[in-house]
Amino acid sequence: MPIQVKSAVIATQQAEARYRTGLGSVAQVAQANETLAQSRVQEAIARVGVWRALLSVASVHGDIRPLLSESDRVQKGM
């Protein structure tokens, strides 16, 4: 997913550059922005899915501490 978002960011930048130079239309910029937004939403959904899976594993094992440790690690990394 990060690659898809990065690609959408680049496509948006290119569409905006084409528009500024008169080689693209507002519609193309809007479409690139829509694709970027969709990519970010899909990435967020995928991340939630990963956390849900980790919670399920913790629930099955009866120990939520590894999940909380991972959550702390991720938050400190941000």
pTM comes to 0.78
CA end-to-end span of the chain, whole Å? Answer: 18
Cβ neighbors of 66 (< 8 A, separation 6 or more) are 58
Q: Please report the pLDDT score of residue 77 as a whole number.
A: 82
54 residue type, one letter: L
Q: Please report the pLDDT score of residue 2 as a whole number.
A: 87
pLDDT digits (tens, 9 = 90+) for 42-72: 999 999 999 999 999 999 999 999 899 999 9
Report the SS3 class of residue 1.
coil
DSSP state of 22: T
Q: Please report the pLDDT score of residue 38 as a whole number.
A: 97
User: Is pLDDT of 16 > 70?
Assistant: yes
